[in-house]
Every structure is written in structure tokens, then in C-alpha cells.
Structure 1
Amino acid sequence: MSVGEAILRAVLVLVGFLVLPLVVGQSEHKVMAHMQGRLGPMEAGGFHGWAQLVADGVKFVQKEDIVPRAADGKIFRIAPVLAIVSYLAALAVIPLSPDLVGADVPASLVWVLAVGGVGTVGTLLAGWSSGNKYALLGAMRAAASLISYEVALILAAASFAIAAGSLSLAGIAHAWTPWWLIWQLPAAFVLLAAGTAELQRVPFDTPVADAEIVMGPYTEYTGLRFALFLLAEYAGIVVLSLLIAVLWLGGWTGPFDAHIGWLWTVLKAAIIVFVIIWMRVSWPRVRVDQLQRFTWLVLVPIALVQLLITAAGVVLWQ
């Protein structure tokens, strides 16, 4: 790869990283508004209030950046950056098509799982450094969620890797067949549930439960730093949706010209995004004990059984 091509790919990944989370955020606001019958702001920018998210971003930029006196200033400032950069590193290796990927690295699935968990570490640092009891409690909940759901997430991803005989996301997508929609359905369910929990999204948002602990790890954050945590959440949704689209839905595989394969990947990811938003609208927040019970008594056993089924299928049919 030439230097110019590497720079172009880096720019494309950065532009996508800045644009896609905003599109997801705007979509969530509008989808939730229609599902719940409360349309909210509809005037900003004209059609359907499309610029409301831009207005909210300007509002965050104008707010005062406050660092509490009791906080560990350096860690407090670094945490939001760490949370969002981890998803940028993950997005860089997820292929939209065979030729459209920021960095085609070996074992890209391992890379995504490794750096994706760093975002939760940013949340842990934010709560630990804030000098606030609610933030600390939220950070401990986030840490417990990371430890628990990371196990289920890795086991589910391993099922796809075993089925394809590859740790490369591109290799897994190339090995995909329509039979995977049924064969790997349990693994896809675990991947979606565990990934949503790691993003601390409803119904797994006990680390930031506003009714219990104000805003959890983000209680002391204001202005642009708080906005970075919100942007990191939407960036995480983009990464999770693209990952499921590549692993379970075949990525760029579609009925038409292969040159628009990237569009199939994006459309499949958009379906997963809608499901994640739908979950937020449909289910209430679970308790902390229910959060732990769900992963250890439901997701992990399903993932282990799926590993056995996948291994048996590989031995018998491949």
C-alpha cells in the first residue's frame, strides 16, 4: 500500500467515524419519538428537525468545562478521549467490502474485541477519577459489566471464527453462507445482547441509571467532555452493528453488483442499529443483580452450547 493510499484510507475512516455516530444519534431521536408518540423538536433545520442534533452539539461546546476540585484532573480529562478513540481503532479494521477497509490486518476480529473493551475502561476511569460517590458506584457497575459480558462476547465471536476457520473479519465474511443465519443465530443473539450491555444501553444501563445514581460515571462531566461520552456511545453502536453485519449477515454479500457491496454492509448494519434502538424503547432497565444473572445463567451457557454445535458442524460438514 502506498503512502497516499494509506492517508486516503485513514481520512475515510475518520470521516466515517465522525459522521456515522451522528447519523445514528439523529436516527435514535426520531425513531424513539415516533415509537413513543412524542415528536419533540421538529423545526431546527427545516424538514423533520434534522439539524436538532447539530444544535445540541453547539450547545455542548458552549457550556463551561468544569473539573471538580476533588477529581484527579489528568485522568478526568483523558477518560472521554480514551472512550471514543477505542471505537475509532475498532472501526478502522472492519471491512465494508473486500476493497474498502481502513486497515486490513490479520486477526482483525481479535483486534476489534480487544480495543472495543477499552471504551468501558474509559468509563471506569471517569467514575474513579471524579471524586464523586455516584460516579464511583457507576464505575464499579461498569467494571462488573465489562468483566461479565466480555466473556459472553468473546465466546460468541469465537463461534463465528471457528465456523469460518479464520480470525480475519474479511475471511469470515468470505466463508459466510446463508445457512449461517440459522446455524449461528444463537451466537448472533449473544453478540447483540452482550455488545449492548458493554455499551451500557437500555435495558443494561445500570452503570448510568439516572434514577438511582444521577448519571453514574458521567455525573461530574459537563460541556464537550460529556458530549464525547455520548458520541462514544453512538460510535460503539456503529462498531457493534457493523461487526454483527459482517459476522452473521455476510457483510457485503448481496444479490446485485459486487461493486456496491459496501452498501449491503451499511444497510445490514442499519437494521441492527434499528433493533438496538427498538430495545431501548421496548424494555425497562434491569436491576444490577439481574444484569449479572442474565450473562452468567443465560448468555454464557448459550454461547458455550453454540461453540459445541459449531465445532460439531465443522467436523461433520466441512
Structure 2
Amino acid sequence: MQVWRQVFGAGYEMFIRTVREGDKIIGVAPLMIKDNNAYFIGNTDVCDYQDFVVAPGREKDFFNILLDDLKKNDIKTLDLKHVRPDSTVMTSLAVVAEVRGCKTVKTQEAVSYEMDLPSTFNEYLESLTTKQRHEVRRKLRRLTEEGNIEYRFIDKGPALDATMDTFFRMFVESRQDKAAFLTERMKDYFRLLVDTMSGIGLLKLGVLELDKKPVAEILCFDYNDCIYLYNSGYDPQYVSLSAGLLSKVLAIKDSIEKGKKKFDFLKGAEPYKSHLGGKEVPLYRSQVTL
């Protein structure tokens, strides 16, 4: 949130509200205002899904206080995207808003993919369809036959900057739409995000190397029992070896070995996500007219 505000926040008024009861925080609303409309801080280009932070059981109190505050500040619309079906926006805000007589509109605009992780990589492979299990094993075998394979994660230190330079190159070369996406401003955002997440111990920048040469990289965040796949890139010279796909497979393998419980592919309907076992989660835009 702070990183997005620093790079992209011009033109918006930050509207961050913390609701307290005594010394206890009931909830936090990370919002921004433009033209009398309120939005989550961020945008859908770089934020996969978002939500309010609310203490369990206090959702009704929190949203009533928030909606009162928004109305007092002459906010006309609360326009929130994207949100999961299990978000407080969908499970609580919509109910509170309707009770208050506010018009609410829910529109599915995207999908995300995630999966629960088993205790072993073999169990994971067995959970795939017969075809996909065969494909993953075949591709892994072919890659290892090409030379010495190393898959490692960089989370801090001087190597991070150089690794990000390689990541940017692969990101641009691997897909035409990614090349258009990665403007200089977006590079600034990624670098600041990586530095920030590294500083609080949430960064996992995975590097797949073939004979000491990086052939794919994957940018993940490690929070609690879940690994979040934020973005990735690969060297097109190694497309025949499925370097991009296998960097994700090896990230899943590492997550299982580290005892993680969930792997979140985040937003996007790329076919590889379901091929690797991801289950679709709808993402919505929720609009509340105050």
C-alpha cells in the first residue's frame, strides 16, 4: 500500500481509517478518494485482490462506522475491486449496506487460482490429472538431462539488485504484453516493492539455473502458511525446455518441502494454473452507492 502510494498515488487523497474501541483496533479501511468516490489504495494492474482488515465478529460495527464516516465526508460511491467471495466486502459489507438502504452492485471481473498443498511432492503429483502428471514428470526429466539444474531463492542482500535486472529482462522477453506493461515507472514500483518486502522478510525471488545460467525467475511472497506467486519471467531461448512452467513447479515443490499449506497463483486465467492443480476463485468488483 505504501509502495503503491509512493509511485502511483498522485491525484488521490489518502483516506485511511482505523476504528478503535478503547485500546483495541476493530478494523482498518485502506482507502483513497478521487472525485467523491472511494477506492482501495492500489489498482488492479498490480494488486490481485484486496480487503478491509476487520477483527472477527466486529464486521457489522466496523462497516456501520465506516459508512457513516464516508457519508459525512460527502463520498458518493465505494468502488472496490477486486475482492474474493470470502472477503469481508462480500460477506459483511454488502449485508450492512443493504440493511442501510444503500444500492449495491456485484460484478465478477476476474479469476484467481489457488490450491491446498499436501505433505509431499509425490502426493502433489498424484493429485494432478494423468495427462498433467505425465507432462510435469516428462518436462522435469528433460530439463535435468540438459545439464546441472539448481533452483534457489534470493530474499535479501547485494545479489537482489542484479537478480532483479535479470528478472526484468526475462519478464520483457517472455511475453509481448509484459513488455508493454513494464514501463520505467512500473520498474520503479517493482524495485521498491521488492526492497520493502525483503526488509520485512516476505520476499522469495526464485531463480532456476541451467549450468549456472539463469533461465527463469519467479517473484513470490511468503506469508504465514501460503506462498503467493506474484510474477515471473523466463529466457525465450529455453522455451523448448519449459523453463517458465518448471520454475513454478519447483516453487510448488519447495513450498511443500518447507511445510506450506497453500499455494496462491493469484489473479489471471492462464491455463498453466489449472494444469498445475489450481482451483478457480472468482474475483468481484463491489460498488456501494451511499
Q: Which TM-score tier does this pair reach, normalised by the shorter chain?
A: under 0.3
- Structure number with the bigger relative contact order (C-alpha 8 A, sep ≥ 6) is 2
- Bigger proportion of residues as helix: 1
Larger Cα-atom Rg: 2
TM-score by length of 2: 0.23
